[in-house]
Amino acid sequence: MEYILVYICTIFLLPLLSFLLQLIAPRSLSSAMAYLSTALLCLSSILSSICLYAFYNDSSWTFADWGIYSALKLIEIPWVTLPDFHIGFGMNFDKLAVVMLLVVSLISFLVHLYSIDYMRGDKRFSRYFAYLGLFTFSMNGIVLSNNLFFTFIFWELVGFSSFLLIGFWYEKKSAGNAANKAFLVNRVGDIGMFLGIMLLFMSTGTFSFNGIQYADIDNGIMTIAGLLIFMGAVGKSAQVPLHIWLPDAMEGPTPVSALIHAATMVAAGVYLSLRIFPFLTLEALHVIALIGATTAIVASFIATSQYDIKKILAYSTVSQLGYMVCSIGVGAYFAAFFHLITHAMFKACLFLCSGSVIQAMHHSQEKLHDHSKDPQDIRNMGGLRSKMPITFFAMLISTLSLCGVPLFSGFLSKDSIVAGAISYYNSFHGLTFIIPLFIILSAALTAFYMFRLIFLVFFGESREISIYSHIKESSYYITAPLILLSLLSFAFIFTFPSFNPLDSHGWFYSMLSTVTPFQTLGYDMYKVESGIHHAHTSAMIISITVAFIGFLLAYFKYYLKRDILSLSTNGIYIKSKNLFRNKFYIDEAYEYFIISPFLRLSKIASIIDWNYYDQRFIDSWGWITIKLSKISSALDYHLLDQFIVDGLARLANRSGKELQSSQNGVLQSYLFSGVLGLIILLIIIQQLG
């Protein structure tokens, strides 16, 4: 197996190499370097697929198989060694990691390829590829790390790369704001994660996933720690209430949105949750399921009334991440991971397609020298199907996958999640019905807004004829990734060799179903698995029906332009549409309740610190000292100096003047004084004698 280790290390380090090379490359070589980076990532993808194949064949590499696993801790680089405190960088090699590596490398490679054309002519071209390399390296780090400390390190690095890439076109103020927002909101989540890491370390004495999993600690602490670490996932994977950064992150270039904000970075939160799943307690899992379901439904609502093509996809991402998180919460471990993978493929494809559309719009506007219309607004598009067929088909396939239509990969994964939600309700009853309710409702809405997108962009008459006339299909750099990704959205890719569209069993399932850990603190996984099996059929039926309803609604409204149920004039409908379009005013709420008061508080703190505390209080000590010193100096001067010291001087002066008269120059008076003195002396001596 040694060569696998070498491959994995190479996969890990290749993007770092790309990053460093791009940093030092001179400007003249920038396009050649871009090809080099793309080639490095391609190599990385090929190596990952080889590793995947090797893992597939070797059934002993499972996460849950502790006995063999302990022998697999093959690389651990000691990093910090104190007498009682060790941290080392260790790599986790199991199927979960390998599949993720492949996904990350493949999508990164495709994005590199795509960006060669998309970012052509940008003045910071090589910087862009450097940042992409840094990001891929950090993402690999998260995937491979076997302890929480290093996961945190790479977690933050991923956030940093995201910051750099979102703010890539920093001349626009909105891009800078978006980058800051992304980093800060992620930081909030990271605080929770760091606290959780510390709590676990203090309780178990180790940072590694396996060590924590098998440690025996109080349930309450475990719940809190689990939820804290999940907070990091909430931030990174844009769950409610920390989802606000993701739509703003669309300020970055579209390939960045595809790579980071659809396929990989946001999936990091889900990946982390998968890793910590064994030590999430039941209470924590309930909370997680609720957060996931809420996110799914809230984001779907918002997406239905957005007009910017990227924002629609962003909210769709948030919603799908909610799906994944909810799936973890209800215990459908394999479904969550499966959805992660399929979502990565089709969402990346969707974003890249939208990028293709946006670029076409942009080029067309440039030809017209008219930049007044927003190239990302779907109200300016229409009927693009004939002009951009490849993009259209790729987008259609990905949309069908996203909506969960049979024959596509999304159906398999989504269906499992719905099954999981239903079985969750079946085991816990009561109020937990909202979980499957949210999930199913959101599935309907997903179909609705995605087909709204398709119909408005690709069908019908164009709303901007002038722009429309100059649109043409994008170059091969762009369409090749689209084709590849849309092919990967077909079901049979994952269910090979089975061609049954309704059956999720195949190579993927057989390889990864053993990944599901069975020694967990939360659920009895056997029970959950059987529950999912039972709910499978009903879930399938429900999800297909619901998706079809959503499609129908969109079809009537946007294709046939018929106003079913006179909804558009309904007051409640309009009000709720406004509510959705304004994203439930969550951003404004944050601004009003948290951010503005805090900035005011910091100004007040600064005023207190400087004007009151320093200038008045501290300096008043100086003022008092000066006053005291003036008093003492007055005392010193007038009393001591003038009166006493100078007084003595004056006394000496006066007496001198008086005695002066005895010096009159007359010899005889001197003699007289002498004799007088002599007589007095004699008398004294006689008296004393």
Partner 1 sequence: METSILSLLIFLPLLGVVGMFIAYTLKQDDIIFKYIALLATSVQLLLTVWLYFNFDPSVALSSNISINPVKFSVQVPWIESFNIQYFVGIDGLSAPLVFLTSLLMFICILASWNISKHVFAYFALFLLLDTGMMGVFLSLDFFLFYIFWEVMLLPMYFLIGIWGGPERKYAAIKFFLYTLFGSVFLLLGMISLYYYSGIESFNLIALISAAPSISGELWGFQVKYLIWIALFIGFAIKVPIFPFHTWLPLAHVEAPTSISVILAGVLLKMGTYGLLRISYPLLPGEVVAFAYTLAILGVINIIWGATNAIAQKDLKKMVAYSSISHMGYVLLGMAAVASTSAAGSQAGMNGAVMQMFNHGVITAMLFLLVGMLYDRAHHRWIVFPEDYEKPELAGKLGFGGVSNKMPIYSGFVMVAFFAGLGLPGLSGFISEAFCFIGRFSIFKFLTVLGTLGILLNAVYFLRAYQRIFWGEEGASTQGLSEISIREIVILSPLLLLVVALGVYPAPLIDIIQPAVQGIIDTVQSAL
Partner 2 sequence: MNTLESYMIVASAVFCLGLYNVMTRRNAVAILMGIELILNAANINFIAFNRFNGTGVLDGHVMSVFIIALAAAEAAVALAIIINLYRNIGSVDVDEARSLRG
Using CB under 8 A, list all residues that contact partner 2. Answer: 660, 662-668, 671-672, 675
How remote is the C-alpha of 257 from its chain's centroid? 13
DSSP state string for 206-258: --BHHHHHT----HHHHHHHHHHHHHHHHHHTT-TTS-THHHHGGGS-HHHHH
Q: How many residues bind partner 1 (CB under 8 A)?
A: 51
- Binding of partner 1 by 602 (CB under 8 A): yes
SS3 string, 143-194, reads: HHECEHHHHHHHHHHHHHHHHHHHCCCCCCHHHHHHHHHHHHHHHHHHHHHH
Neighbouring C-beta atoms of residue 660, cutoff 10 Å: 9
- Binding of partner 1 by 434 (CB under 8 A): no
- Binding of partner 1 by 201 (CB under 8 A): yes
- Binding of partner 1 by 590 (CB under 8 A): no
- The SS3 assignment for 523 reads coil
Return the number of the residue (83 or 656) whose C-beta is nearest partner 2: 656
- Binding of partner 1 by 81 (CB under 8 A): yes
Return the number of the residue (567 or 652) whose C-beta is nearest partner 2: 652
The beta-strand segments (E) located in 28-178 are: 76-82, 85-90
Residue 599 CB contacts under 8 Å (≥ 6 apart), including other chains: none
Binding partner at 664 among partner 1, partner 2, none, C-beta below 5 to 8 Å by kind: partner 2
In the chain, the amino acid numbered 347 is: K
In the complex, least distance from residue 648 CB atom to partner 2, rounded to whole angstroms: 23
In the complex, least distance from residue 688 CB atom to partner 2, rounded to whole angstroms: 23
Binding partner at 675 among partner 2, partner 1, none, C-beta below 5 to 8 Å by kind: partner 2
In the chain, the amino acid numbered 620 is: S
Query: From residue 471 to residue 510, what is the string marking binding to partner 1 with x (rule CB under 8 A)?
Result: ----------------------------------------
Return the number of the residue (135 or 455) whose C-beta is nearest partner 1: 135
Dihedral of CA 245/246/248/251: which sign?
Answer: positive
CA proximity to 428, closest of 273, 321, 543, 282: 282
In the complex, least distance from residue 638 CB atom to partner 1, rounded to whole angstroms: 27
Residue 182 buriedness (CB in 10 A; 0-12 / 13-18 / 19+): buried
Return the number of the residue (433 or 590) whose C-beta is nearest partner 1: 590
How many angstroms separate the CA atoms of 46 and 52, rounded?
A: 10
Residue pair 91/8 in contact (Cβ under 8 Å)? The answer is: yes
CA proximity to 3, closest of 33, 65, 47, 44: 47
In the complex, least distance from residue 673 CB atom to partner 2, rounded to whole angstroms: 10
- Binding of partner 1 by 194 (CB under 8 A): yes
CA proximity to 20, closest of 1, 33, 3: 33
Query: Which residues ranging from 82 to 101 are in contact with partner 1 (CB under 8 A)?
Result: 82-85
Binding partner at 431 among partner 1, partner 2, none, C-beta below 5 to 8 Å by kind: none
Return the number of the residue (198 or 502) whose C-beta is nearest partner 1: 198
In the complex, least distance from residue 498 CB atom to partner 1, rounded to whole angstroms: 44
Query: Which residues ranging from 128 to 187 are in contact with partner 1 (CB under 8 A)?
Result: 149, 152-157, 160, 167, 170-171, 173, 175-177, 179-180, 183-184, 187
At 242, list the tokens.
Answer: 């920390």
* Phi, psi (degrees; rounded to nearest 5) at 209: -60, -45
At 299, list the tokens.
Answer: 């984001």
Binding partner at 81 among partner 1, partner 2, none, C-beta below 5 to 8 Å by kind: partner 1
In the complex, least distance from residue 47 CB atom to partner 1, rounded to whole angstroms: 24
- Binding of partner 1 by 215 (CB under 8 A): no
In the complex, least distance from residue 141 CB atom to partner 1, rounded to whole angstroms: 10
In the complex, least distance from residue 572 CB atom to partner 1, rounded to whole angstroms: 39
How many angstroms separate the CA atoms of 469 and 66, rounded?
A: 62
DSSP state string for 548-604: HHHHHHHIIIIIS---GGGGGG-HHHHHHHHHHHTGGGHHHHHIIIIIHHHHHHHHH
At 163, list the tokens.
Answer: 């910051």
Binding partner at 660 among partner 1, partner 2, none, C-beta below 5 to 8 Å by kind: partner 2
In the complex, least distance from residue 619 CB atom to partner 1, rounded to whole angstroms: 8
- Binding of partner 1 by 252 (CB under 8 A): no
Binding partner at 602 among partner 2, partner 1, none, C-beta below 5 to 8 Å by kind: partner 1
- Binding of partner 1 by 199 (CB under 8 A): yes
Return the number of the residue (68 or 679) whose C-beta is nearest partner 2: 679
How many angstroms separate the CA atoms of 142 and 186, rounded?
A: 15
Binding partner at 386 among partner 1, partner 2, none, C-beta below 5 to 8 Å by kind: none
Residue 515 CB contacts under 8 Å (≥ 6 apart), including other chains: 62, 63, 64, 94, 95, 96, 333, 334, 337
Binding partner at 666 among partner 2, partner 1, none, C-beta below 5 to 8 Å by kind: partner 2
One of 594, 605, 624, 683 touching partner 1 (CB under 8 A): 605
In the complex, least distance from residue 662 CB atom to partner 2, rounded to whole angstroms: 8
Residue 183 CB contacts under 8 Å (≥ 6 apart), including other chains: 159, 160, 162, 163
- Binding of partner 1 by 218 (CB under 8 A): no
Return the number of the residue (131 or 558) whose C-beta is nearest partner 1: 131
Angle of CA points 79, 81, 82, to nearest 5°: 150
- The SS3 assignment for 59 reads coil
- Binding of partner 1 by 626 (CB under 8 A): no
How many angstroms separate the CA atoms of 459 and 547, rounded?
A: 20
Residue pair 167/179 in contact (Cβ under 8 Å)? The answer is: yes
Which stretch in 65-73, 249-257, 404-412, 598-606 sits in contact with partner 1 by CB under 8 A? 598-606
CA proximity to 240, closest of 669, 646, 583, 485: 583
- Binding of partner 1 by 17 (CB under 8 A): no
In the complex, least distance from residue 149 CB atom to partner 1, rounded to whole angstroms: 8
Binding partner at 599 among partner 1, partner 2, none, C-beta below 5 to 8 Å by kind: partner 1
What's the longest Cα–Cα distance across the chain? 153
In the complex, least distance from residue 672 CB atom to partner 2, rounded to whole angstroms: 5
In the complex, least distance from residue 675 CB atom to partner 2, rounded to whole angstroms: 7
Return the number of the residue (163 or 438) whose C-beta is nearest partner 1: 163
Binding partner at 656 among partner 1, partner 2, none, C-beta below 5 to 8 Å by kind: none
Return the number of the residue (28 or 660) whose C-beta is nearest partner 2: 660
Which residues contact partner 1 (rule: CB under 8 A)? 78-85, 149, 152-157, 160, 167, 170-171, 173, 175-177, 179-180, 183-184, 187-188, 190-191, 194-195, 198-199, 201-202, 205, 599, 601-603, 605-607, 609-610, 613-614, 618, 622
